[in-house]
Chain A
């Protein structure tokens, strides 16, 4: 069975600074997808970024980028130029590339605080 681990329950960063959130996963599959979701206090889950396992290039979306280390099964999220609006829970998620399923396996989340 696949598992996702986020070892940092809480992180904090100063506005305009850079922060990295860690995520490791375990799987025996070769085809899969990884995601970072953000859940602000409003509780609405928002997709931040996704990475296909077959792609060697790290995904980037504006101020958000990932460091995908397939051999190490590591998928960290880097937030550059942090903003107050980035404060939220961040969840790392895994989705199998096998079979017909949308099922996401989530980590336990990292609460990010942003200080002015």
Chain B
């Protein structure tokens, strides 16, 4: 099976612009989560989607948004970019256990998108 793919891998934008990042989960995986990784704040949870519904959201401003499509692919959007948005954005997918008691499925991470805001 192909792993989690993220596009683009690298992106350079200027302040005030907006950006859209894409994540394609592993085939059959229905849950997608997004994380922001910076040297100062570490790894922080942005949001997660399951069956096209956002089921959890981290503590980020409304400029950060996301969505999931019927094929489980997900996009995240950042509007009005700020210098502090420069980060590695990681996407992770999991299959999601359908029966109670199985516990969480392993999350598989993509290679990330490196966003630089100038």
Is A104 a contact partner of B107 (Cβ separation < 8 A)? yes
User: How many chain B residues have a CB neighbour from A under 8 Å?
Assistant: 26
Residues of A within 8 A of B26 (CB): none
**What 0/1 pattern do residues 69 to 104 of B give for CB contact below 8 A with A?**
000000000000000000010101010100000011
Is B111 a contact partner of A42 (Cβ separation < 8 A)? yes
Per the 8 Å Cβ criterion, residues 32-49 of B in contact with A are 33, 35, 42-45, 48
Known: A44-B111, A45-B92, A102-B94. A109 touches B106 (CB 8 A): no
Q: Chain A residue with minimal CB distance to B45?
A: A103
Query: Would you call B66 an interface residue if the criterion is a C-beta within 8 Å of the partner chain's C-beta atoms?
Result: no
Query: Would you call A90 an interface residue if the criterion is a C-beta within 8 Å of the partner chain's C-beta atoms?
Result: no
**What 0/1 pattern do residues 68 to 104 of A give for CB contact below 8 A with B?**
0000000000000000000000010001010011111
Instruction: For residue B79, give the distance in angstroms from its CB to the closest CB of chain A.
Output: 23
Residues of B within 8 A of A47 (CB): 106-108
Q: Chain A residue with minimal CB distance to B107?
A: A102
Q: Which of A45, A50, A97 contacts B90 (CB 8 A)?
A: A45
Query: Would you call A20 an interface residue if the criterion is a C-beta within 8 Å of the partner chain's C-beta atoms?
Result: no
Residues of A within 8 A of B110 (CB): 44
Nearest 6 CB-CB pairs, A to B? A45-B109, A106-B43, A101-B56, A102-B33, A44-B111, A108-B42
Can you list 19 contacts pairing A with B, beta carbon distance less than 8 Å?
A33-B104, A43-B112, A44-B110, A45-B90, A45-B92, A45-B109, A46-B109, A47-B107, A47-B108, A95-B104, A100-B50, A102-B33, A102-B56, A103-B45, A103-B58, A104-B107, A105-B45, A107-B42, A109-B42
Chain A residues packing against B (C-beta within 8 Å): 33, 37, 42-47, 50, 52, 91, 95, 97, 100-109
